[in-house]
Each structure stands twice: as C-alpha cells, then as structure tokens.
Amino acid sequence: MRVLLDVRNLTVTDLRDQDEIIHDVSFSVAENSCLGIVGESGSGKSMITRALLGITNPWLKSQGAAVFKSQDSERDLLREDENSMREIRGKQIAMILQDAMSAFDPIAKIGDQMVETFVENKNLSKKQSLALAKEALGLMNIHDPKQVVKKYPHQLSGGMLQRCMIATALAMEPDLIIADEPTTALDSINQGQVVEEFKMIRQKMGTALIFISHDLGVVKYLSDRLLVMKDGAAVEYGDAGDIFRNPQHAYTKYLIDTRLELTESFKKAMRKGDHNG
Amino acid sequence: MAEFWNRFKNDRLAMGVSFFLLMVISLAILAPLLAPYDPTAQNIINKFQGPSLTHWFGTDQLGRDVLSRILYGGRITILVSVLTMVVTILIGTVLGVIAGYFRGWVDDVIMRICDIMLSFPSEVLILAIVGILGMGITNIVLATVIAKWAWYVRMIRSIVIAFMDSNYIRFAKVAGCSTWHIVRKHLLVGAIGEIAVLATLDTAAIILNISALSFLGLGVQPPTAEWGMMLNEAKNVMTTNPGQMLAPGMAIFMVVAAFNFLGDSIQVALNPKINKGFSTKRYSLFSALFGRRKKAVTQ
Amino acid sequence: MAKLLEIKDLEKSYLKVGVNFSGSRVKILNGVNLTIEAGTCVGLIGESGSGKSTLARLIMGLEKPDRGSILFEGLPAKQWIKNNKGKMSVVFQDYMASVNPRYTVVEAIAEPLYASGAGKDVDRHIEKLLVKVGLEQAIKNRYPHELSGGQLQRVCIARAIATNPRFIVLDEAISSLDVSVQSQILKLLHQLRVEMNITYLFVAHDLQAVSHLCNKILFLYQGKIVEELQSGELAMAKNQYAKDLLASVIPFEV
C-alpha cells in the first residue's frame, strides 16, 4: 500500500517556556487504512493533528517532517505557508472535531453552511452544492436530508450534527480524514451509529483515516495501526491487532486492563442472557 | 482573586487611572487644608484673571479663585456621585439577588415593577422628580436613584441567574446549605467583580448626570462650588471669556474618563479573554478546517 | 428492603423557548413511576433529551413537578433534606463547573460539613476523606483549575460523602472522564457504597458503566420508563428501545 502521510520525528515546543509538548513522534498512514491514536487527556494526541494541519497557537513551534503525498504532489506539511495549508485543509485533509455543536456557526442553517463550503472549495454552483449536500447526508444514513439542511445547529442532536460534519468532510473527497474524539461527546447509542459511519467510510470510500480517542473499544473496532501516546511521547506504535494481543509497554497494558474491567460486568450480563435464552 | 490583582497590577493604564482617581479623591477630601482661598470669597476687582502664581487656575467672573473652587467642587461632585452609586447598587443587588435566587412570583413582581420604571426615559423622570421635590442636591440624588435602580436590578438579576445555573450552587442546595450561605459564599463572591465593573462605569455616568443637572441650574445652588455649576456660570460669559470653561470642563472630562478606563480594566482583569487581540470564536475552527469564509480564518 | 424513594406518575413540562406567549409546552417527563430501595444502586439510562437530567433535578428537589409525587420515606425532597441535613448528595458530570473556582479543595469539601452542623475537627475529617477517595494530602490547598479531571472528580466525591449521606445522585458522574479513569472512579464508588451503605441513583448513558455498578437498571425513553431490568439479566430486554441501546454498545474483546 502506498504511504499517504509520513510523519518523522515530530516535536512541538512551547516557545514561551521552551517546554516540549510532543517529543519525537513518528508514524505513517497508508492509503485506505486507519491509524488509531489513543491516550488519556493531556497526552498530546490532539496536539499532533493540530500541528500537522498548522492550526496550533502561534507560540507553538513544530519541528520534524510530515510528508503528505497526494496523487500529484508531495509536500511537507510543516513547511508549507498558511495559504497553501488552507488549500490542503478541507480539500485534501479534512478534520472532524469532538464538539460538533460549536464547530458549526450557530446562526446559519446547516445546508447553507455546507453549500457555502462546497461553492468555495469545489467550484460548484449553488444548486449542485445543495444536491451534493443532500447526497452526502443521505450517505450518512440520515433519513430526511431535505429537512436536515433547513435546520439550525441547535435544532439537531449532537449525533446528528456529528454526522453532518462527517458528511461535509466526506463530500470534499479528501485523501485523509482526521477524526479527533468524534464520539466522546455523544450518547452511547449515537456513539455506536457514528462509529458505524466511520466503518462505512473506510469500506466504501477508501479514504484514509486518523482516529483519535481515549476509548480503546472504539479504536480497536476501526484501526489497523495503533499509536499509544503518553505525556507527549509515543509509548507504542505498530499493528493494532498485535498491540491488543501482546502489549509491550506497561501503560498500554494498563489502558487495556482498565477498559476490560469497565466492560466486564456488561459482557457477563449479556452472556448470561445468551445461556438462558 | 490573587490572579486578578496580578493582572490588574500589570495593566499600566489601570494603575495610572487608579492613582489618578485616588489623588483626585484625596484632593477633594483634603480641600479645606489645600485650597489657597475660600471658594466663595468674591473679589470683583480681580475678576477674569489668567493663571498666575497667586491664582494657579485664574479667577472667575466674581473674582473667586478657580483652583479652590475646583477642589471644593470635586468634594461635592465626586462624593455625591459615589453616594448615589452606592445606594443604587445596594438596592440593585438586594432586589436583583432576591429576584434571581427565588424566581417564581417574587421575580415576576420585582421585574414587572422594574419594567414600569424602565418605561420612563430616565432624564425626563429625573426632571419630573426634581420638579416635584424642588431643586437641590439631595433631591437630585434621590431622583437619580429612583430613575436608575430598576436598571441595576435587571443587570444584577441576570448576573445572578447565570450563577444559579452552576452545579456548585445545586450541590450546596442538595447538601442543605442555607440560602444566606449560598448567597454570601457563592453568589456575592462570584458576582462582586461584575458588580464592581457596573459600579465604576456607572459612577462616571452619574458624575455626568449630576453635572448636567447642575449645569441646567437644577442641582447645586450658587454660590456653592460644583463642577457642573461652574460650567453653568462660565457659559454666561462664554463669548467674552471662553477660558472659564476650561478648568471645570477638563475636571469632569478627566474624572469621567478615568472611571470609564478603570471599569474597562477591572473587566479585562476579571476576564482576560476579552482582551485577546484576535477573536477566538470557536466556530471559526469549522471555517479554518473547511476553508469556509476565507476572511474569517485567523489564528 | 425498605423503600427510600417512591415516585408516582411524575410529569414535567417546560415552556418552549422563544414562544413564551403561545403557551405551548414541551413534555419532558410523561408519567414516571419508580422506587428505590435503601442500600441498592439504581441505574437510570437514556439518551440526551430523554429527560434523565430533569428527573434527577426533580428528585433532588431543585425543581417542582407539574404533577405526581416524589416522596423520600413519605416526605417531599425539600422537607426530607431539611430534616436530614447532609444525608442527600450529588456528583455531577461536569466536574469543573461543580466546584466554585474561587475556593480551594479544603474549602469545597468543608462546605457540606459546616452546613450540616458538623463543625468539630473538620480538618482531620477532611484528611481522612482525601485518603478514602485516593487523593494525596498535598492537593488540599490547591484550586480546582490546578487539578486533573480525575482528581477533581475525586474531590467532588469526597465532598459528596463528607456528611455520611444515605442517598447520592450520580448525574453522569463519569461520562466526562477518560475511560481509564472511569473504571477507577467506578471502583471507588462501588467500594464507598459497600463501606458506607449508601444508596445510589446512577444517571448515565453508558450501559457498560451502569451494569458495572448497579443492581437495577431503568431505561428512560421519551419521558417514560420503558424497561426495568436487574443488571444480571440485561440480555432479557423486551422493549425495542432497550434492545437497540444494548446493541449499540461497541464490544471490546482482546
């Protein structure tokens, strides 16, 4: 498989106190694969993607290399200027945030926001854009796209908004989608649905995915490769299956154990039911 | 609170205006000791003198020393304004907290009375009250308080309601803490900053208000010195001696400006996000990520 | 077992936002019946908008119901709290907003102690509480923003158990925490329940966490309790909504 994004020795330093927030992290994402990044809050997992997209605060300095190979070009994301990064963001790399509610402009209709995005980035007419928006929403298993495009953000549930955001990202046909804790703010029932959408994206669209979460369960369900972060450093990186079967680092073991503990009684209860029924 | 002081101390403008206001207030309080002349002593022969070593700010149309009159005038202007502010804020806080804490019918009653009060334009209301009660400084204070309290009840009620929605107050209620405890330890402690901002900004407005009324001849009666009153007297000789407007005009301008700056500085020190140079509205992240509205992209 | 809380035909509606004058109301709770026996842990599960937070607030006496009754040992919540100061408590989801940012950890924990009149030897009692919830003494004089999410939620738990309560409402108490911290907090909550014989009402949307801690699980959907199960018999759900919810849990096997 062709490597799409190759990150080498990424280090992020806070220029105000020379504090290293990310130490020397390396990983790569191949086409049509999914990299999971797990870690507790404060481990720097979100910071990595922000540094890659150049949307960090101005006092943070990123060093290293992040080579992004799209069909026709090869560029180092850390060395591009703001203008070309703006070209890359959205069109080639799309990002999905945890808090869908605040990612949308609260005073504009969902449809208008999507249309505006498409008109500007895909050179489509308004009519074509609206059709595309509806199609994209339909793909996300939203039953009634015609109604949804007319709604304001506060009229939709968190899960619905998150799906609108994924639909927007998908319709831009990016090479890579970065999802930063997209399910954390959602109820479990919505969580399950949104994760299924991501599964579908992987199977149908062939888009590469970086999926960030603190929940090993979700990451395990989606990822081929896994990066475990702790205190700004990568403690383990490799094939997801291998890591889950045979974690090398004590921290990874701890994450897996605590997750297993959480799920234990639920599994027991469900299994008991299987025997009885 | 410690952080507030740190930020406040590092704000040069804030320290500057605080120093200036402290100076003005102490000058006003110490006026009897500092003033070189009796502010009401007339000396017609010496009228309309320019600034000199004997009369730093010159003399007015009756030959009174302008510096002494500014110092004594400051006493009335500032002390009366602060008094008015304290009374309005007290009424506003008590009623605002009651309305915001208990809600329900108590809130309805208080707010409907406020609505009635707010439906009169405050300047007209003040003029009407002064018209009924007669001229004089006490009546002006009374009129200003009557015209303004409702507005403060509204403001403070909305501050309180924002706090009532916080979980630590819910916890305190469930834990069985008394109403007085919650009001004192959570509501007042939390709202004090915002009330301080309101109070400082408002003092400036009241100074203008009282000066304006004195200027119209409704407030302080001659020969007592008061800044608005002095402007009023200077107005009569404006065509021949325009310099007479300068001292009281500047005094009002500088003190009002200082109170306004102080109010802004307190607000920024309480909530440093206000002063972050560029707006960091979070939904602009969506624009940044998807390139929507190119101009909105900031970081 | 003795009934601690009994709710009958509870209804609650709110005025629709923005249309105050039309008088149209949104029904949040539509006839809720439930009982909580002393010493048990009851899980209340539902998605956002199902009314579970409203129900929790009604139970704590923070709001008044439109119709129906909420009785603690025969008394309305407010009266019960007055008679049994410090015997009811709550832990919220948003730990950052549930402690006043202006007070230190010690001051926050001392608040319910002073309120219930246990003014003696507060310092020693707080030291013991910190040990109980697994916090170091060193954090005593820190402010909330200097603590991590897990630490702060432990402070909230210490504050909640400070007055030896009989009943604690856990309003999404672990939903905002990292998964690894979640299981630690759940363990702590379970341990405290056994040690101190506390009755829990655990409001949540995560079935795995609820089944970990609770004896009985109630499914709240569109303002009604649609299914009631013992935690061991989750698989026997008959209601379609409960089934969907159970199916949406992402499995985790190694």
Architecture in CATH for domain B2-296: Orthogonal Bundle (1.10)
Domains and CATH numbers, chain A: 3-92+176-276 (3.40.50.300), 103-173 (no CATH)
- The pLDDT of residue C27 is above 90: no
- Give C77-95 pLDDT, tens digit per residue: 888 888 888 889 999 988 8
Of B209, B230, B204, the residue nearest B24 (C-alpha): B204
Q: How far apart are CA A155 and CA C156, in angstroms?
A: 33
The per-residue b/e assignment along B7-18, b for 16 or more CB within 10 angstroms, e otherwise, is: bbeebeebeebb
Does the pLDDT value for residue B275 go beyond 70?
A: no
Question: In this complex, how many residue pairs, one in chain A and one in chain B, have their CB atoms less than 8 Å apart?
Answer: 56
The winner for highest mean pLDDT among B207-216, B229-238, C108-117 is C108-117
Residue of C nearest to A265 (CA): C212
As a whole number, the mean pLDDT across chain C is: 87
Sequence-ordered list of residues with C-beta below 8 angstroms from that of C118, at least 6 positions apart, any chain = C86, C125, C163
Subunits with 3+ Cβ pairs within 8 Å of A are B, C
Return the amino acid letter for C10.
L
pLDDT of the residue at B293: 44
For residue B23, give the DSSP letter: H
pLDDT band at B273 (very low <50, low <70, confident <90, very high): low
Going edge to edge, which strands form the sheet with C25-37? C25-37, C3-15, C67-72
The answer to whether B248 and B230 are in contact (CB under 8 A) is: yes
Q: In the β-sheet with C216-221, what is the strand arrangement from edge to edge?
A: C88-91, C167-171, C199-204, C41-45, C216-221, C224-230
Residues 167-226 of A with CB under 8 A from C: 187-193, 195, 214-218, 220-221
| Predicted local distance difference test score (pLDDT) of residue A276 | 47
Q: Is residue C81 part of a domain?
A: no
For residue range B53-112, list pLDDT tens digits in order. 777 777 777 778 888 888 888 888 888 888 899 999 999 999 999 999 988 889 999 999
More confident residue, C204 or B294: C204
Q: Point out the residue among A255, A256, A277 whose CB comes nearest to the CB of C235.
A: A277
| pLDDT for A277 | 38
User: Residue B299 above 70 pLDDT?
Assistant: no
Q: What is the CATH number of the domain that holds C123?
A: 3.40.50.300
pLDDT at B43: 73
Nearest CA-CA distance, residue A237 and chain C, Å: 17
pLDDT at residue C18 tops 60: no
Name the DSSP letter for residue B65: B
Residue A27, pLDDT score: 93
Nearest to C208 among A220, A255, A266 (CB): A266
Residue C146 sits at the chain B interface (C-beta within 8 Å): no
Best interface-test mutation with B: which of A46, A53, A89, A93 has the largest number of B CBs within 10 A?
A: A89
Is it the case that residue B292 has pLDDT exceeding 70? no
Dump pLDDT digits (tens) for C50-74.
888 889 999 998 888 889 989 999 8
Q: Over pLDDT 90: what percentage of chain B?
A: 16
What pLDDT score was predicted for residue C23?
63
CA distances from residue C234 to A174, A264, B129, C99 in whole angstroms, order as listed:
42, 13, 73, 35
Q: What is the pLDDT along chain A (277 residues), one digit of tens a residue?
A: 788 999 999 999 988 888 888 999 999 999 889 999 998 888 888 889 888 888 888 888 888 999 998 777 788 888 888 888 888 887 888 888 887 777 888 888 888 988 988 888 888 899 999 999 998 888 887 888 888 888 888 888 888 888 888 888 888 888 899 998 888 877 777 788 888 888 888 888 888 999 999 888 889 889 999 999 998 899 999 999 999 999 999 999 999 988 888 888 888 877 765 554 3
pLDDT for the residue C20: 54
For the segment C116-129, the average pLDDT, to the nearest whole number, is 83
Neighboring chain C residues of B177 at a CB cutoff of 8 Å:
111-112, 115
Q: Check pLDDT > 90 for residue B153.
A: yes
Question: Which tokens belong to A113?
Answer: 């926001």
Type of residue numbered C158: A
Interface of A with B in 208-247 (CB under 8 A): none
Choose the closest CB to A262 out of C148, C212, C244: C212
How much is the pLDDT for B280?
38
Query: Scanning every residue of chain A, which has its alpha carbon at the shortest distance from the alpha carbon of C183?
Result: A262
**For chain C, how many structural domains are there in total?**
1
Whether C138 has a pLDDT exceeding 70, the answer reads yes
Q: Is C67 a domain residue? A: no
Q: How far apart are CA B22 and CA B16, in angstroms?
A: 10
Q: Is C151 helix (H, G, I), strand (E, B) or coil?
A: helix
Inform me whether the pLDDT recorded for B294 exceeds 60: no
Per the structure, the complete domain to which residue C105 belongs is given by: 38-62+87-247
pTM: 0.81
CB B66 within 8 A of CB B37: no
In chain B, where the domains are located: 2-296
> Is B189's Cβ below 8 Å from some Cβ in C?
yes
Q: How far, in Å, CA of A157 to CA of C49, rounded? A: 9
Kindly provide the ipTM of the predicted complex, given to two decimals. 0.89
- The CB-side HSE value for C102 (13 A sphere, CA atoms) comes to 14
